[in-house]
Amino acid sequence: MTRSPYDTRRSRTVLLVVGSLLLVGGAVIAYLGGRDFFAAANMESMDPQFGSFFTMAGGAFMVIFGIGMLNAGTLGAQSRYVAGETMPTVKKSAEYLSDGRGIMGVGRTVDDGAAAGTQRASGPFCRACGTRNDEDARFCDGCGASMA
């Protein structure tokens, strides 16, 4: 089952909001617990209570989960950025290392259909399946979806 863009946007928003709250709340709780723990550790008659230590540890775990949720919420943007930065370099490297056809299709600079003498579609790509269609196509050749 595929998710609609609305569901994805809502999930991303929930991850960002809850992750931010966990990060800020966890930082405050870890600070308060750490302050009490280290203040008790500096006293000469240290009382062996571990409540402040567990408060500090709980806050630290909240910070870790908050950072993880923020990372999950921004994963799509991170992936798009990395792909945009690395693919031109990968394409040039594949072109340099091969005969212009690329390595397994990466960095292809020669149109295989034109080289073989066959006619290839030169129109738009289908939004649903990614198949390239004829210039004047109204429906996709691969999946039948509307091209409009």
Q: How far apart are CA 140 and CA 21, in angstroms?
A: 45
* Mean pLDDT calculated for residue range 1-27: 88
* Range 113-138 average pLDDT: 71
Mean pLDDT of 26-41: 90
Structure-model confidence comparison of residues 6 and 146, the more confident one: 146
Distance, CA of 23 to CA of 62 (rounded, Å): 6
The structure tokens listed for 140 are 């996709």
Q: Is residue 67 within 8 Å of residue 19, measured between CB atoms?
A: yes
Whole-angstrom CA distances from 105 to 46, 110, 126, 128 are 68, 10, 20, 22
pLDDT in tens, 92-122: 777 777 665 556 655 555 555 545 445 555 7
Tokens (6 digits) for 3: 């998710």
Average pLDDT over residues 21-42: 91
Return all residues near 76 (Cβ < 8 A) that are at least 6 apart: 12
What band does 133 get if pLDDT is binned at 50, 70 and 90? Answer: confident
Determine the average pLDDT of the residues in 117-137.
75
Contact 59, 28 (CB under 8 A): yes
At residue 103, φ and ψ (nearest 5 deg) are -105, 110
